[in-house]
Amino acid sequence: MEDVEPGTAAKRQAAGEAYYYQTAAAAMEEEEEERTWAPWLVPVFVLACVGVFVAEMYVNNCPAHSHPLGSCVAGFLHRFSFQPVRQNPLLGPSSSTLEKMGALEWNRVVRRNQGWRLLSCIWLHAGLVHLIVNMLSLIFIGIRLEQQFGFVRIGAIYILSGFGGAVLSALLLRNSISVGASGALFGLLGSMLSELITNWTIYSNRIAALLTLMIVIIINLAIGLFPSVDSFAHVGGFLSGFLLGFVLLIRPQFGWFERDDLPPSAQVTSKYKAYQYVLLVFGLILFVAG
């Protein structure tokens, strides 16, 4: 039987397509919920850094040495007490202890072939203040990222960004030592920015992400002004994570998972948008070249 009212068939078709879109959107939300990983690697990183800091203070043994710049801070901690504030305002061990434990130092890396320091320095911290700020930032940023993208990708970004920051620091910082997870942390921040860019069309909370980035970056840059904390590692880590984010944190465009449930006119034929492929190749080439 023909439609009596002109355009009724077209309206029904449009209503059907709208229903398909709503169904696809709901399915995509369910798919995203199913893909949420339980974070465990970031808490392990936090525990590792705390454990290493305890080991630093044990090796440091402030009361066993004379200090012309003052007495040990928190003496009731005995062997685990901190160096005098005039020597280390971040409440931590001496520079010699950090160097003994694996701090990044240009002469040892380049001339003594101690390349392992490019990784060991990521787990060391200059003091309690440095450790707390970094670990709170890591929990705040890292757990959300691990929930969304899993431990493999976030772990790779964390380690490679820390390594990239240490490499830049070794190239540009020759007169002092460098420690801290800040390079790896800034790598996660950089990956958040590139993830926001490459997944722009499906990202729902852009303003909150940008505010989070700005707050954590400002805090860590302020900490970077203290001694034994390296700003070159921040820059190197951020750039490494920024490029890796284009490669590892790319998301399929809307409608890809539900393409079989959509009408032919609404189906997508490519998993990613063209600009996402461009950014992926751009990030991969620059990271490998760098």
* Active site residues per annotation: 182, 234
DSSP 252: P
* Residue 254 to residue 273: CA distance in whole angstroms: 10
* Residue 181 to residue 48: CA distance in whole angstroms: 11
User: What's the sign of the alpha-carbon dihedral 38, 42, 45, 46?
Assistant: negative
Residue identified by tokens 């190197």 is: 236
**Amino acid, single-letter form, for residue 200:** W
Q: Report whether 248 contacts 149 (CB < 8 A).
A: yes
Angstrom CA distances, 271 to 122, 257, 259, 268, stand at 36, 9, 10, 8
Q: Report whether 119 contacts 166 (CB < 8 A).
A: yes
Residues ≥6 apart with Cβ < 8 Å to 119 = 159, 162, 163, 166
Q: Report whether 138 contacts 45 (CB < 8 A).
A: yes
Which is nearest to 104 in space by CA: 53, 189, 164? 164
Q: Report whether 89 contacts 75 (CB < 8 A).
A: no
Q: What is the length of the chain? A: 290
DSSP 89: T
